[in-house]
């Protein structure tokens, strides 16, 4: 699956190349990751046994600056998956015009099976293994699936111990008290919300009559559900890895967040306690949630959730990809034919890396910004790049995804070519 994920990711590049003229050198350059590292991380478990975990870090392309990308803890992590995610990060940073290339990292494990102390030892062990591959001017990791600010704090601390100097700019998404940025915890969702706001004039009805389903109720999913709820949208379904809940009159998202935090799972909400008393909900599977008849569908969990198998059953009018790679290229084609607007991951979820960039800038300057300042700058970037992508889509009559790739490719191509092209060497 993962290997095809990488070829699938590169297929988007092939499609975009039809609408932009960039040098063959740049195309060749973007086909391969710059450097891929696989490490074995020994961890002493609480019962005294030793377990070895497989970890990865991929720096895909650093032409536009040091590479940037999250670290995920998940059983399905493979080198190929990390390469695909690093490829997407390269385009995402270019789309948002951040002075970064793309990277990604991960460890194959089920984090729910580890104690907090085992997780800390694993996080520090990962940094021991990759320390020479990362750094504030080389590659700057951040949180992703099942990694939290505390984990970023442990990692930054371990990196500082290795370097014998406090190095907050080596990791982003840290707790605010040790150099994290205000607004980073909600940045992915806030950025997605600005993108939704930028094109909400296309929605068939006012927010109170616009229905929304969100798959994944973690950092990104829970926050976007809450932002939309607070803006008056009718969030009718949410889910996590255990399953989902649906009610046609709309869910009370803040109560669900409180329940999830207290009981560590959506299952705890099923017909227990006050949420069940105040709302009349149905239980839905993750697959059922994706095919609900809603105006807006927000996949905010894992990749490859909408494929050629279920794309025909999707009824939403708009899909905003908060997760990375939730729709494969075969499904894209089907959704396009059905007239569904798909707003792509490399734009929609780029608020996370944008505020990570702000965090890195604050760490390096030593001057920290207010939340208002962070969100103001984030909004400016998200709205401006959404507008560019919208215009490119209109100009070529292409999907927003292809337009986003064209936009990113333009910047990447120029940067790669500035180091010299075939024309320069052969004809110059
Ligand atoms: P998270 O670990 O905070 O939350 C993940 C959520 O997905 C949890 O609610 C989990 O229960 C749920 N989930 C896991 N497997 C599922 C399944 N099979 N079906 C439905 N739900 C499932 O992770 P996150 O940081 O919110 O990341 C979610 C997605 O957003 C990922 O694709 C990630 O790459 C992307 N993303 C995150 C950030 C960020 O800053 N956190 C930035 C950009 C993109």
Q: Where in the chain is the domain with CATH 3.40.50.720?
A: 187-348
pLDDT of residue 4: 76
CB atoms closer than 10 angstroms to residue 366: 8
CB atoms within 10 A of CB 258: 13
Determine the pLDDT at residue 314.
98
* Sheet hosting strand 211-215, strand order edge to edge: 282-284, 243-246, 234-240, 211-215, 296-299, 318-320, 341-343
Say what percent of the chain tops pLDDT 70. 95
Ligand 1 centroid – CA 220 distance (Å): 6
Is residue 325's pLDDT more than 70? yes
Calculate the dihedral angle through the C-alpha atoms of 162, 165, 169, 170, rounding to the nearest 10 degrees.
Answer: -10
pLDDT band for position 203 (50/70/90)?
confident
What residues contact residue 209 under an 8 Å CB cut-off, 6+ apart? 234
- State the residue for tokens 């999707």: 314
Cα-to-centroid distance, 143 and ligand 1 (Å): 11
What pLDDT was estimated at residue 283?
A: 85
Kindly indicate the confidence band of residue 178, based on its pLDDT and cuts at 50, 70 and 90: very high
Burial of 59 by CB count in 10 Å (0-12 exposed, 13-18 middle, 19+ buried)?
buried
Which 3 state secondary structure label does DSSP give 212?
A: strand
Residue 274 has pLDDT above 50, yes or no: no
Q: Which residue reads 């009018």 in tokens?
A: 317
User: Among all residues, which ones are annotated catalytic?
Assistant: 104
Q: Round the average pLDDT of the chain to a whole number and report it.
A: 92
Q: Give start-end residues of each CATH 3.40.50.10860 domain in the chain.
A: 3-178
Q: How far is the CA of 411 from the centre of ligand 1 (A)?
A: 28
pLDDT of residue 238: 94
Higher pLDDT residue, 255 or 313? 313
Q: Tokens representing 69? A: 């990308």
Using CA positions, which residue lies closest to atom 33 of ligand 1? 323
Domain 187-348 sits in CATH at 3.40.50.720
Take atom 22 of ligand 1 and give the residue whose Cα is closest: 241
Q: Whose CA is nearest to atom 23 of ligand 1?
A: 145
Give the residues surrounding ligand 1 with Cβ less than 6 Å away.
Answer: 143-146, 188, 215-221, 239-241, 286, 300-302, 322-324, 349, 352
For the ranges 203-207, 321-325, 415-419, the one whose mean pLDDT is highest? 321-325
Residue 264, pLDDT score: 61
**Closest residue by CA, ligand 1 atom 36:** 323
How confident is residue 1, by pLDDT bands cut at 50, 70 and 90? very low
Q: Is the domain defined by 3-178 classed in CATH 1.20.1290.10?
A: no
Please spell the DSSP secondary structure of 158-183, one letter per residue.
Answer: HHHHHHTS--GGG-SS--GGGTPPTT
* 394-409: pLDDT as tens digits: 999 999 999 999 999 9
Nearest 5 degrees, angle CA 304-CA 209-CA 270? 60
Query: Has residue 347 got a pLDDT over 80?
Result: yes
Pick from 70, 174, 218, 287 the residue to mutate for probing ligand 1's pocket: most ligand atoms within 8 Å of its CB. 218
Distances (CA, A) of 427 to 29, 280, 416, 422, 423: 20, 72, 18, 8, 5
pLDDT per residue as tens digits for the range 87-118:
999 999 999 999 999 999 999 999 999 999 99
């Amino acid at each position: 699956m993962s290997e095809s994920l990488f070829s699938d990711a590169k297929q988007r590049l092939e499609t975009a190349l039809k609408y932009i003229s960039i040098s063959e050198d740049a195309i060749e350059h973007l086909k391969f990751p710059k450097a891929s590292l696989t490490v074995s991380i020994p961890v002493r478990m609480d019962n005294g046994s030793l377990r070895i975990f497989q970890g990865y870090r991929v720096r895909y392309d650093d032409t536009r600056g040091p590479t940037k990308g999250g670290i995920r803890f998940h059983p399905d992590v493979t080198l190929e998956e990390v390469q695909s995610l690093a490829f997407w990060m390269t385009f995402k940073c270019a789309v948002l015009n951040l002075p970064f290339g793309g990277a990604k990292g991960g460890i194959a494990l089920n984090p729910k099976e580890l104690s907090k102390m085992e997780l800390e030892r694993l996080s520090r062990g990962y940094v021991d293994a990759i320390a020479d591959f990362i750094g504030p001017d080389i590659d700057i990791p951040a949180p992703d699936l099942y990694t939290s600010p505390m984990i970023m704090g442990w990692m930054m601390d371990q990196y500082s111990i290795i370097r014998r100097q406090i190095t907050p700019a080596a990791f982003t998404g840290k707790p605010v008290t040790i150099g994290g940025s205000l607004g980073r915890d909600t940045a992915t969702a806030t950025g997605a919300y600005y993108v939704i706001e930028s094109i909400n004039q296309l929605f068939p009805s006012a927010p109170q009559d616009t229905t929304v389903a969100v798959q994944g109720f973690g950092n990104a999913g829970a926050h976007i559900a809450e932002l939309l709820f607070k803006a008056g949208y009718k969030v009718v379904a949410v889910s996590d890895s255990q399953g989902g809940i649906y009610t046609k009159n709309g869910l009370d998202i803040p109560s669900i967040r409180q329940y999830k935090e207290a009981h560590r799972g959506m299952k705890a909400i099923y017909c227990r306690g006050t949420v069940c008393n105040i709302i009349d909900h149905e239980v839905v599977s993750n697959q059922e949630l994706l095919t609900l008849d809603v105006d807006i569908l927000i996949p905010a969990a894992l990749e490859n959730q909408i494929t050629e198998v279920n794309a025909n059953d999707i009824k939403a009018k708009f899909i905003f990809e908060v997760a990375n790679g939730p729709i494969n290229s075969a499904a894209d084609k089907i959704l396009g034919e059905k007239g569904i607007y798909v707003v792509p991951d490399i734009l929609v979820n780029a608020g996370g890396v944008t505020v990570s960039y702000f965090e890195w800038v604050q760490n390096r300057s030593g001057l920290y910004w207010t939340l208002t300042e962070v969100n103001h700058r984030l909004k400016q970037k998200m709205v401006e790049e959404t507008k560019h992508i919208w215009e490119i889509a209109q100009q070529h009559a292409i999907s927003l995804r292809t337009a986003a790739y064209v936009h990113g490719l333009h910047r990447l191509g120029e940067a790669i070519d500035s180091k010299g092209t075939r024309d320069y060497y052969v004809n110059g």
